[in-house]
Amino acid sequence: MKNMKKIVCILSTLMLVLCTVGCSVNEEQPAEPRLLLGFSQVGSESAWRIGNTKDIEQAAEDYGVSLMFENANQKQENQIDAIRRFIAYKVDVIAFSPIVEEGWDNVLNEAKEAGIPVILVDRDVSTDAEGLTRCLIGADFYKEGVMAAEYLIRKADSLGLDKVNIVEITGTENSTPMRQRQAGFFDTIKGDDRMVLLESIDGDFLKSRGAECMRSLLGKYGDGIDVVFSHNDEMTLGALPEIEKAGYVPGTDMIIISIDGGQEAIDVLKEGRINCVVECTPKLGKELMETALKLKAGEEVEPLIHPVEEVFSDEQDTSLIAPRGY
Ligand code: GYE
């Protein structure tokens, strides 16, 4: 009996010890994040942007990076404030997608003085001094414009057109994709005498503006429009119902060219109401995390990283296009 008591006592002490060890393991503080990354996003203006945000959040989780995420709601001053907060918080690395190219010198100098490396995501900046940012991870927008124009030239050839009247709905004025998509497109068609630009109009990458712009263009040029070149899917999706309301069939009466390649636009391409969508991938998160970790470790990074992109159009079997994921 005495022995029995002793055994019970030993067993319960053992259980108590095991439980204490187990509990202390469970209560352990989470491991220090490998990196604290401050990221200022432009806004939520498009499926592209929302896909880009999700991709960056997912990549941060996958890489064990602690992300301080700020949405600037389309305002440069909000981005500048966010970057200042990141500096005050002493993050390891700052990343941001600048809404426009100019106006960053002061805040980037502040980051430099604080010794915090800065990564540009998606869009570029134009600064007085060199070396305020470490690298740019984003699409080759010039090439996207070239690919859109090359499609148009092939399409005009196949339809045997001898005059091609173009309207262009551009993205946010002074943003990198707006500038470079426009330059790539017009540099490519400029040697082709058939191509005539009727008007370029600022649609700010927004669906509502795309609709407004298209209404105004249709009011001025009506069926004189042969081609709508729109700098993103959202503006294209805003423009299409306006074309239909005016009595034209997009994709047939007018050639519609878009950029981004989000699922909604690809579905409309499959229906034949868009002719060509140049891909611009928002999936930049993996490159961003890997680059930020290298910078924290004091390693060299590539100054420019472009993802590979393709063209989707009525020249191919569109039923084979895989789900886009944004
Ligand atoms: O094309 C557009 C978005 O900067 C590439 O911004 C990005 C552009 C994209 O709002 O849909």
* Class for the domain spanning 141-280: alpha beta
pLDDT in tens, the chain (326 residues): 455 555 554 555 545 444 444 444 455 555 677 899 999 999 999 999 999 999 999 999 999 999 999 999 999 999 999 999 999 999 999 999 999 999 999 999 999 999 999 999 999 999 999 999 999 999 999 999 999 999 999 999 999 999 999 999 999 999 999 999 999 999 999 999 999 999 999 999 999 999 999 999 999 999 999 999 999 999 999 999 999 999 999 999 999 999 999 999 999 999 999 999 999 999 999 999 999 999 999 999 999 999 999 999 999 999 999 999 99
Per-residue model confidence (pLDDT) at position 21: 46
Residue 187: strand, helix, or coil = helix
Counting from 1 in the atom list of ligand 1, the atom nearest the Cα of 233 is: 11
Identify the CA nearest to 177 among candidates 310, 74, 280.
280
Per-residue model confidence (pLDDT) at position 82: 98
Counting from 1 in the atom list of ligand 1, the atom nearest the Cα of 205 is: 10
Q: Is the CB of 63 under 6 A from ligand 1?
A: no
Per-residue model confidence (pLDDT) at position 6: 56
Per-residue model confidence (pLDDT) at position 31: 65
Counting from 1 in the atom list of ligand 1, the atom nearest the Cα of 123 is: 4
Distance 235 CA to ligand 1 centre (A): 11
Q: How many other C-beta atoms are found inside a 10 Å radius of the C-beta of residue 286?
A: 16
Q: Phi and psi for 43 in degrees, rounded to 5? A: 175, -145
Question: What's the CA gap between 116 and 111, in Å, rounded?
Answer: 5
Q: Is the CB of 46 under 6 A from ligand 1?
A: yes
Q: Is the CB of 204 under 6 A from ligand 1?
A: no
Q: Is the CB of 232 under 6 A from ligand 1?
A: yes
- Asked if 183 and 145 count as a contact pair (C-beta separation under 8 A), the reply is yes
Domains 35-139+282-308 and 141-280 are alike in CATH topology: yes
Q: How many other C-beta atoms are found inside a 10 Å radius of the C-beta of residue 118?
A: 22
Per-residue model confidence (pLDDT) at position 23: 45
Question: What's the CA gap between 220 and 228, in Å, rounded?
Answer: 14
Per-residue model confidence (pLDDT) at position 19: 43
User: Would you kindly state where each structural domain of the chain is located, as residue ranges?
Assistant: 35-139+282-308, 141-280
Q: Is the CB of 238 under 6 A from ligand 1?
A: no
Distance 139 CA to ligand 1 centre (A): 10
Counting from 1 in the atom list of ligand 1, the atom nearest the Cα of 282 is: 5
Q: Is the CB of 205 under 6 A from ligand 1?
A: yes
Per-residue model confidence (pLDDT) at position 33: 75
* Class for the domain spanning 35-139+282-308: alpha beta
Tokens of 202: 């600022």
Counting from 1 in the atom list of ligand 1, the atom nearest the Cα of 97 is: 4
Helical H segments across the chain, by residue range: 2-26, 47-62, 76-89, 105-113, 141-159, 176-189, 207-221, 233-245, 263-271, 285-296
Which residue bears the tokens 């009466």?
A: 253
